[in-house]
Amino acid sequence: MQKHVVIIGSGVGGLATAVRLAASGFKVTVLEANDYVGGKLTTKQIGRYRFDMGPSVFTLPNLIDDLTNISKQDKPFKYLTLDTIVNYFFEDGTSLIAYTDKEKFANEVATKLGETKESVLEQLKFSGKLYELTSDIFMTQSLHKLSNFLNLKTAKAILNIGKLKLGKTMNEVNKARFKNPKTVQIFNRFATYNGSSPFQAPALINIIAHLEHNIGAFVPATGMHDITRHIYELSLALGAQYKFNSRVTKIKVENDIAVGVITENVEIAADYVVSNSDIKHVYTKLLDKKYYRSKLLDQEKSLSALIFYWGIKKEFKELSLHNMLFSANGEEEFKCMFQDKKPYHDPSIYINIGSKHSKNDVPEGCENWFVMVNVPSNTSSMPVEYVDEMRKNMVEKINRILKTDIEKYIEIEDVLDPYLIEQRTSSAGGSLYGNASNNKYAAFLRHANNSSQIKNLYFTGGSVHPGGGIPLGLYSAQIVAEMIADKNK
């Protein structure tokens, strides 16, 4: 008899889990509280402009290709390889380009920031070594099964543990390698890819640079929303069913076994339940209090974001798809967000311009700006009060660094803040990646992909193992699907 899996939420992890389980012969029903798929990775048309609303960095496209192959669909996912990863700008007028070509990037850093070319290449080699030693252990399998550690790849990592710099922070390792604080700031920024501070996160987080600089940075052919649209269509072709505007209010548990879910309108029985919702939301809203695990769930949350979506009536030739305008004091910026729990007055500003590659998203001669700064997660459960002040600071900084008057080019505007992120995605406090990784044991402190208390209950997405971001969300789906398939055997 065909087993039924109910998936709560259609973020990247939920969609990919639907593909993998449907391809394995399960009946799959996905329940989505919104009227669209994608979770944080969605799209919105505002006037004459189309915007990708959430994640904007695309690495490891092979993970999407894997889903296409699994589904046996003759519909390849189309994407481009970037020649330029990021354009960097500093307050003193210094700017440089992070080229995809490693030699070219190393020369750029040497020329503009006075580092040796060799130090840059050594840093990228170090990131690659971290990936080689740990990716199979920490990313592609559960950390909560003892059998997964009894193998040669784990033994190899243990023998090379000194190379992982486990006792040092990301900033300590980067500061020891480079003499220019600007170079350190460039490589420290990868901590924000999982919402952490480079001054607290372990040096292992330097692994993220490997994905962009050693493997490559990419862009979907017509925007980031292509990712969720493609996976969604693959799952539909395999027979997965979706019920939109279906908010789950309870995971039904009998004798410590998940047997289905209850929505606002109906009760649905299931052999397995997979939650793609934020893990804290699951334990506080969907399960009985007796299952709450304070040690895991009450950890420090990752950063959130304040994002402005601007339709710009001008093309800025000095900008590319990804652009970063750095704070003048990176250490104070992270201290303010994590210790003082406040947005920093001089934030690092990330500007993504999708129309650099997707011209049909905007009117001719215009650009769609996704302008983001990191801010703390919102612990008040009330609307945030700093949006206007932060917008003023951001506009002034953009005008200073780009030598422009950006206000006169803004044709349309929309905004997303931590409160709205939480309302739309159920992410605790609007945190983008669940728990922060400001701990050298962070990899082991994320929630497992299955419940140790409730049989047949599984978890996927950025708030559980192996972590936040599109690639790790896709890996979590792979882990969950394999666990369910193995159990079903």
Inter-residue contact 436 to 301 (CB < 8 Å): yes
How far apart, in whole angstroms, are the C-alpha atoms of residue 399 and residue 344? 18
Reduce the DSSP state of residue 3 to 3 states and report it: coil
For position 28, what pLDDT does the model report? Answer: 98
Give me the mean pLDDT over the 297-311 stretch: 95
Q: What is the pLDDT of residue 437?
A: 87
Output the pLDDT for position 295: 81
Q: Is the pLDDT assigned to residue 470 strictly greater than 60?
A: yes
340 DSSP assignment: S
Q: Where are the alpha helices (DSSP H) in 316-386?
A: 330-338
Supply the pLDDT for residue 133: 83
Residue 274: pLDDT band (50, 70, 90) is very high
Is residue 73 predicted with pLDDT exceeding 80? yes
Instruction: Pull the structure tokens for residue 463.
Output: 């708030």
- Rounded to an integer, what distance in angstroms lies between the CA atom of residue 287 and that of residue 265? 18
Structural domains of the chain sorted by starting position, each given as residue range(s) with its CATH number in brackets: 4-41+224-299+434-488 (3.50.50.60), 105-210 (no CATH), 303-376+379-416 (no CATH)
Q: pLDDT-derived band of residue 127, with 50, 70 and 90 as boundaries?
A: very high
* CB 322 within 8 Å of CB 350: yes
Give the integer Cα–Cα distance in Å for 133 and 164: 8
User: Per-residue pLDDT averaged across 429-456, rounded?
Assistant: 86
Looking at the chain, the whole-number percentage of residues with pLDDT higher than 70 is 93
Mean of pLDDT values over 434-455: 84
Q: Which pLDDT does position 230 carry in this prediction?
A: 97
What confidence tens digit (pLDDT) does each residue in 317-331 have?
999 999 999 999 999
Given a cut of 70, is residue 142 above it in pLDDT? no
Under the banding of pLDDT at 50, 70 and 90, the label for residue 457 is very high
Span 383-421, pLDDT tens digits = 999 999 999 999 999 999 999 999 999 999 999 999 999
Structural element, H or E, at residue 175: helix 170-177
Q: What integer pLDDT is reported at residue 161 of this predicted model?
A: 54
Is the pLDDT at 151 greater than 70? The verdict is no
Whole-angstrom CA distances from 408 to 46, 174, 176, 311, 353 are 18, 40, 44, 11, 18
Residue 145 has pLDDT above 70, yes or no: no
Buried/exposed code over 179-199 (b: 16+ C-beta within 10 A; e: otherwise):
eeebbbbbbbbbbbbbbbbbb
Q: Is the pTM of this model over 0.85?
A: yes
